[in-house]
Structure 1
Amino acid sequence: MKFRFMTKRIILLFSMFVFLSNVKAQGKAEIALETFSQKYPQEKIHLVFNKNSYIAGENLWFKSFIFDGYNLSSISTSMFVELYDSNKMQISKEIVPLLNGQGSGSFTLSESLKEGIYYIRAYTTWMSNFSEDFQALRQIVIYNPSSTEKLVLDETSKWTASVFPESGTLINGINTKCAVRLQSKGITPSEWNGYIIDAAKPDVKLSSFKGFDQNVGIFSLTPKTGVKYQVVLSDSRGNKQVVDLPYVADSGVNLQVSTDNDAIKFSLKSKNITPGTVYKVIGTIGSQMVFKVASDKILEKTYSIPAEQLINGILQLTVFDEKESIIARRLTFVQPGLLKIKKPEIQSMKLDESPRALNSLTITPEQNNNAYTVMILDGSAENPEDENSFLSTLWLTGDITSKIDKPAQYFIPSRNNEALDALLISETWKRFDWRTIMSDRFPLISYRPQPYISYKGKVSIQGMPASNTELNLMFEIPEYGSKLLQVKTDDKGFFTLKGLLFEDAIKFSYQLNDPKIPAEQVQVIFQPDYSFVPLKKSLPESYYTLVQRHTEEQLSETVKRYVATKNTQSNIDEKAILIEEVKLKAKKKDLTKELNERLSSPLFKSMNEAIFDFVNDNNSANGYMNILQWLQGRVPGLTIESSRGSSIPRYRGSTINVYLDEMLLDPSQINTIPVSDIAMVKVIKGYFSGGFGGGYGAIAIYTKRGGTTGSLSDFAASTKLKKSILHGFDKEISFVSPDYNDQNFSKISQDSRTTLYWNPYIEAETKDQTGIQFFNNDDAKNFKLIIMGFDTKEYVPIYFNESIK
């Protein structure tokens, strides 16, 4: 499978931090890595919810960011989201459209859900070709006071520990850092310590250390062959573990790494190695090679990789011998003390902690950021970003499959960089395995990304395939009339509709283009050209356990508040009869978006389109005789070529069609259309459903007098035809907040909302500042403001997660 969109991406990343030293001819490793990088890009997903836990009967909202390495992904245009209970029973599922690598949706949590731990799984079709361990699988707590059992934190499960020497080996006489990693089904202790002993002399402490956090600690040891070393660990509650260290080898190579803001330095320490042996070290970030050295003098030097030439992320250093066998490897983080994070520019902040007071702020747009996600919480509420944050998914957990407690802590201002380095000593890279790809064993591609939603149809006449037959599809779209689309079947009677972009369901009628064939003899069967992929692996263990609820037992303060909030939200929803009116009070009306909604039918909508508005902005086009000439140079990838007096539009080298009021038109006829008669032009990039079976790209021109010319004004023509329904993306539930300036909300008796504002997609590519307004609840004295975005040119997250007063 070829990824046209990947070529520029790879060149940009490689030129951004390539640093090759003493490069020789490519070996198996380099060739395998290049193949893997070009053909098998890998996506990862960050999920953020509107809050940490829920009560049965509430709505759950989520936002997703899909990354291809360290940039927002352009591979997938759809995301699958599934809700499971703790028994791996699927409760609900949705398909969500992705715009510039971002998507959002919601689930309604049934009143009948029992109290317990539930799981939300998110993945793309392309991700299904790789390990399920890299799919997003998040635990959520759902309370239900009517359940016979209640959730309590599991503080009784024992913890275990493992020791990981740096680069994997202990070698006689070589001082080596060793990471100690804790794991538990329940909660691991945050306060613990340990000491090292010779098992033959258990009363003599060789050295002592203290754990950094609930995940990891570190110590150094100069081992001797023949000695059995152990580490004795204990926590603040008196629990104790004794762990054996790996045996000590009398020869070998040990890779030692140190990282700071200026450089990553490494050296190879050896014992009893034949002089003149050639070793090769390859450094990779993701699946990109950023460093290489091969030399017979490598054991004598310390190498330094300039950090400013790299981006933040996990760097994997792998040592190969002359036969390209792996003898050592190590993960480290690039510039842990200098995280490249852009903060959004927040202005005009007006905060009032009074009950139900109006608060406001504005965000200045970033040039290379398409959209912001904004969430505002009661300052006393749990923060959904405290456990696993946008930053920790991008830089750590999206590529690490093992369980890490509170990974967000490694990317906060008060982070411990030494703890992160120790954590990475205990990890190995799982995105690809060197031995596997060097043996030409690459992932089996069973699932290919489809543009948005695609359907495959089969036409039959009296049960026999209708080969090479033209079929008329008449889509019934109340806002636009009926839209006629013509497709042609293949030799077996099949056809495909690609790039469908609509919510809920759309009705359509059909008939063959041949009037001689009676309609009753024709049958069209549709099936989605996409599928939810069953989850094979087991669900992860939870920090919680279920215990019997006593009849007279009082609810916790958290659950009491959730019950009150659910009742409050029900009242708010009832008051907000016209939800869109409530939304429009909080944001500026977008006239261009309104024009696009009015003129474009759903068949000519795409999440990858460039719109030019000639009603609200003249766009300086009146001096042009041909609108195609005006488009030249205004859309990246679009070129207009001249041939025999006609203008031929091409997108990224491929010829694309031109439509006038959604009717196919020869480009030569554009010369007859005065620019002054044009209301809107849109350039659709990629597949869309109106292009005769899913065309790849188009220029759609809408005239001021034509509107949606080519559409029928009523459904009369289709009443006698056979009808069917296609299902589109799942519709997201609107997040409704009260407007206490409106008297309709004045009778709400109690407001205990924890999420005061939620907007998963605020467009940022505007000249104007984005204004945000929200009303306080009854008791919040400060607020937590979370803003997320991404600079797609500098590969830098835009992130703000702070308490504000």
Structure 2
Amino acid sequence: MKKFFLMLIAAGCSVLAVHAQVAPAKNEGTMKEVVTRLQALSTDRAIEKAYLHFDKPYYNPGDTIYFKAYVTAGERHELSKISGVLHVDLVSKNDSVMQSIVLQLKNGLAWGDFALPNYMSKGNYRLRAYTQWMQNAGNSYVFNKTIPVNGKSISQVYPAKAASNKTDVQFFPEGGTFVAAVPSKIAFKAVGSNGMGVYVKGTVVDNNNAEVAKFTSAHLGMGQIFITPEEGKTYKAKVTYPDGSVNTVDLPKPEAKGVSLSVNNSDLTKLSIDINANKPYYLDNKDKEINVVIYSGGVVKTVKTTLDNQAIGFDLPKKDLSSGIAQITLFSGSGVPLSERLVFIQNEDGVKFTINSDKTTYAAHDKAHIVVNAHTALDKASVGNFSVAVIDESAVQANEDKESSIFSDLLLTSELRGYVEQPGYYFNNVNTDTRNNLDVLMLTQGYRRFQWKEFLTEPTAPMAYQPEVGMQIKGTLVTKDGATIPNEKITLMLSATGQTLTTNTDAAGKFNFLGLEYADRTQFLLTIDNKSIKNKTKLILDKTDVTVPLSENNLPEGKIDEKLPDYTAADAEQSTPTKTRELKPVNVRTKQSYRSSSLAGAGNADQVIFNKDLKNFPSLSQALNGKARNIDFTDGKAYMKTSLAIANGKTVLEPMMIVIDGAITNSSIDNIQPGDVSSVEILKGANATVYGMGSGAGVMVINTRQGGEVAEVSKEMAPGLLSITPKGFYKAREFYSPVYDVAKKGPAEGRTTIFWKPDLITNEGGNVAFDYFNDGPGQYRIIIEGIDNSGNIGRVVYKYTVQ
């Protein structure tokens, strides 16, 4: 083999995925053109990603989900300055939005929370986060995280069942080519009907049924085979499944004339890249130019040589590459992509944390003093804004291999197609096995045929979505007949202070107040300045909701009812009905877009009444009276006209069960202001039975407004004057951290999240300290995550004992 070491030509090409489309140019088919196109992407289409750090891995009903959002721009993971707005949704297990908030991003950072209803049914919920700019790539970079809720439900929990027992096995030649007479590496992946990896083993035989190789899964159904295919032969894999059954799968047909690209990623310091051509290809292309393009961390590196040998190789130092996925592509001299390989680089280039606690072991309720130093691999101080969570791991057990982290999300799963099982495994305890198995993952799940043709030939698609830098209030000024009115002055006034902003309508009668910063539920007045036309015109507000269409949760982890460790003290605090009964599963008829806390899910109520029909009434019972069909209201109680019961020998009306944001209550519905209600769902008969005993008189589910979920126009105060309450930025609640009197220490409170601080800011020396009080005995776990000001990613886990 011809082996050499080349100095690489590096071209700065930050931020963009290479599969984006660019406009065709005159000099197509040259390597200069490939590099030029990649460089052009860096200024046009920056990628934004979001990662959310949560306070703990799963929750109970009544818990608060605390999270810190990190939004990055580009493949160097620098905190984004593109977007100023982040949308975050809590999605039910029935795939409807339960709560939605809007957060203000400052230098790519924000934090928020969701209060879970006290009576949620057990299951896998979901939290997603996105910016408007992300929508230019569809759902590719929308953050999605499964949120297990370990609730006590009055309805029976039915584990998800697989549609069949079929296991899918696929084989992937390295580089996408399987060339006759060239040593080849073929990766395989076996996936069960539930989407999880399945252990398989087997043999490879040729068309004469002669055995040429054996294989066995090494990790989560993945493995690899080494084979040199012979010209004129075909190959099959005889796969043996866990139940002993056997199936035959055809391997790709070897190419009679071809060239392959292989990469050895086992060395910690370098990549060994080999180009192997079989004899027919070599003879046809001898001494012709070939090129290798390496795309890593937004930087393009190229290697140019000639095919003067059937086997050519070179080494590439890993220190020249960024941690994460690197894409290596072999091109012909005319710019035709021939073979491609993805590899994962794990350099020591992230933030390193040193944690010191004032004690190695604490007593219950002791105060903990934690000192943290953050530094880079070069021992330079790491200055940044991090987040820290402390949990009682004895109560909230965690599987670090299954957990996602800031490393696995930003560097791995956001760049691969499909579901990555146990992402934490590849980062928690990096060793030879984890590196080898990660390389096989790149060969299977990172496998792509080619997307270069579209990249090199198709025109640039226009950017449909622009970044949101702040909130906006926009609309149109029209006559009573609907004709637009241009060049009129519109004033926006903050009701509380009288501060004003003004703008003029454009030629189409439209007005827009951009880049606003205001809290959710802030009241404004919107008025027309020209008094002479006030009685002849009206203001129409545009809907400013940019909600991404909600897709069904097809992730395997969203379909599996995994047994979660029970909370200890926290479970005891949940109110549970004294009697329950087993119920039949509820059939969800249609997906609805409104937020629902109903156990039946959105779209399964007999009647739904929305905020617009409720807000202008003095009490909720008055608002519902006459709208809720066949229901009477007395003293804040709701009664179905057909719900008769016998009590002490007398026939009486039985009140409906009232559920407010998932919590069953006996209080009056008039304790809630009509304007604070998002929707009211009425469940009767079979639809109500999901709530078990006590639902015979029907169920009224009241969903209150959450995080900006308000009607934008409150009402017209006078001609040309609107009172509006537009969606605004959610203000995160402060985490409650108790302070104990040393002389009066009480029993453990059963807290599972002991401490949460989303703004852990290191100083110029990379240092920061924080204090909190422990709860009861247990094994405690500190998790710090974040990104420093230079785009270095960091995570650390530190454990200690409370006796």
In structure 2, the residue matched to 1:375 is 389
Alignment match of 2:89 (pick from 82, 92, 108): 82
Instruction: Check whether the contact 1:316–1:429 (CA below 8 A) recurs between aligned residues.
Output: no
Give the letter for the 2:509 counterpart.
Answer: G
In structure 2, the residue matched to 1:803 is 799
Instruction: State the distance in 1 between where 2:290 and 2:64 align.
Output: 57
In structure 2, the residue matched to 1:148 is 155
Q: Tell me how far 1:269 sits from its aligned partner.
A: 0.5
In structure 2, the residue matched to 1:788 is 785
Alignment match of 2:172 (pick from 164, 171, 175): 164
Superposed, which structure 2 residues align to 1:131-142 within 5 Å? 131-142=138-149
Tell me: CA distance 1:138–1:363, structure 2 relative to 1, closer, same or farther (3 Å): same
Give the letter for the 2:755 counterpart.
Answer: Y
In structure 2, the residue matched to 1:729 is 729
Q: Tell me how far 1:449 sits from its aligned partner.
A: 0.9
Instruction: State the distance in 1 between where 2:507 and 2:755 align.
Output: 54
Instruction: Check whether the contact 2:199–2:241 (CA below 8 A) recurs between aligned residues.
Output: yes
Instruction: State the distance in 2 between where 1:448 and 1:110 align.
Output: 35
Q: Tell me how far 1:456 sits from its aligned partner.
A: 1.3
1:651-692, CA deviations, whole angstroms, 9 ceiling, x for partnerless residues?
A: xxxxxxxxxxxxxxxxxxxxxxxxxxxxxxxxxxxxxxxxxx
Superposed, which structure 2 residues align to 1:306-317 within 5 Å? 306-317=317-328
Tell me: CA distance 1:246–1:300, structure 2 relative to 1, closer, same or farther (3 Å): closer
Instruction: State the distance in 1 between where 2:294 and 2:765 align.
Output: 41
Report whether the alignment pairs 1:180 with 2:191.
no
In structure 2, the residue matched to 1:245 is 251
Q: Tell me how far 1:432 sits from its aligned partner.
A: 9.1
Report whether the alignment pairs 1:446 with 2:452.
no
Instruction: Check whether the contact 1:369–1:765 (CA below 8 A) recurs between aligned residues.
Output: yes
% same residue: 22
TM-score by length of 2: 0.69
1:703-736, CA deviations, whole angstroms, 9 ceiling, x for partnerless residues?
A: xxxxxxxxxxxxxxx9x97533232023334332
Give the letter for the 1:256 counterpart.
Answer: S
TM-score by length of 1: 0.69
In structure 2, the residue matched to 1:403 is 419
Report whether the alignment pairs 1:468 with 2:487.
yes
Tell me: CA distance 1:775–1:162, structure 2 relative to 1, closer, same or farther (3 Å): same
Q: Tell me how far 1:257 sits from its aligned partner.
A: 0.9
Instruction: State the distance in 1 between where 2:566 and 2:189 align.
Output: 32
Alignment match of 1:435 (pick from 453, 468, 485): 453
Q: Tell me how far 1:284 sits from its aligned partner.
A: 1.0
Instruction: Check whether the contact 2:521–2:725 (CA below 8 A) recurs between aligned residues.
Output: yes
Tell me: CA distance 1:500–1:180, structure 2 relative to 1, closer, same or farther (3 Å): same
Instruction: State the distance in 1 between where 2:515 and 2:101 align.
Output: 18
SS at match of 2:352: coil
Q: Tell me how far 1:466 sits from its aligned partner.
A: 4.7
Instruction: State the distance in 2 between where 1:252 and 1:179 align.
Output: 19
In structure 2, the residue matched to 1:534 is 549
Q: Tell me how far 1:798 sits from its aligned partner.
A: 2.1
Instruction: Check whether the contact 2:61–2:117 (CA below 8 A) recurs between aligned residues.
Output: yes
Instruction: State the distance in 2 between where 1:556 and 1:306 align.
Output: 44
Instruction: State the distance in 2 between where 1:157 and 1:417 align.
Output: 31
Superposed, which structure 2 residues align to 1:36-435 within 5 Å? 36-68=41-73, 69-71=75-77, 72-150=79-157, 152=159, 158-186=166-194, 188=196, 193-198=201-206, 200-201=208-209, 204=211, 206-234=212-240, 238=244, 242-259=248-265, 260-271=267-278, 272-273=280-281, 274=284, 275-285=286-296, 287-293=298-304, 295-297=306-308, 300-334=311-345, 336=346, 338-350=347-359, 352-364=361-373, 369-380=383-394, 381-383=396-398, 386-415=402-431, 416-428=434-446, 433-435=451-453
SS at match of 1:563: helix
Instruction: Check whether the contact 2:235–2:251 (CA below 8 A) recurs between aligned residues.
Output: yes
Superposed, which structure 2 residues align to 1:456-605 within 5 Å? 456-460=474-478, 465-477=484-496, 481-514=497-530, 517=532, 523-529=538-544, 531-536=546-551, 539-542=554-557, 544-545=559-560, 558=566, 562-564=570-572
Give the letter for the 1:457 counterpart.
Answer: G
Instruction: State the distance in 2 between where 1:225 and 1:434 align.
Output: 29
Instruction: Check whether the contact 1:154–1:543 (CA below 8 A) recurs between aligned residues.
Output: no
Tell me: CA distance 1:132–1:532, structure 2 relative to 1, closer, same or farther (3 Å): same
Q: Which stretch has the larger CA shift, 101-110 or 186-195? A: 186-195
Q: Tell me how far 1:292 sits from its aligned partner.
A: 3.8
Instruction: State the distance in 2 between where 1:467 and 1:474 align.
Output: 21
Report whether the alignment pairs 1:774 with 2:781.
no
Q: Tell me how far 1:393 sits from its aligned partner.
A: 1.4
Instruction: State the distance in 2 between where 1:783 and 1:360 align.
Output: 14
SS at match of 1:505: coil
SS at match of 1:398: helix
Instruction: State the distance in 1 between where 2:138 and 2:528 align.
Output: 45
1:428-456, CA deviations, whole angstroms, 9 ceiling, x for partnerless residues?
A: 47799211121124444211112121221
Q: Tell me how far 1:125 sits from its aligned partner.
A: 0.9
Instruction: Check whether the contact 2:167–2:193 (CA below 8 A) recurs between aligned residues.
Output: yes
Instruction: State the distance in 2 between where 1:28 and 1:560 align.
Output: 62
Q: Tell me how far 1:348 sits from its aligned partner.
A: 5.0
Count of aligned pairs between the two proteins: 618
Q: Tell me how far 1:12 sits from its aligned partner.
A: 8.6
1:326-350, CA deviations, whole angstroms, 9 ceiling, x for partnerless residues?
A: 221101122x3x3322223434543
SS at match of 2:103: strand
Gaps of 5+ in 2: 1-10, 16-28, 376-380, 576-717
Instruction: State the distance in 2 between where 1:219 and 1:165 align.
Output: 9
Tell me: CA distance 1:491–1:86, structure 2 relative to 1, closer, same or farther (3 Å): same
Instruction: Check whether the contact 2:297–2:321 (CA below 8 A) recurs between aligned residues.
Output: no
- Tell me the C-alpha RMSD between the 2 structures: 3.6
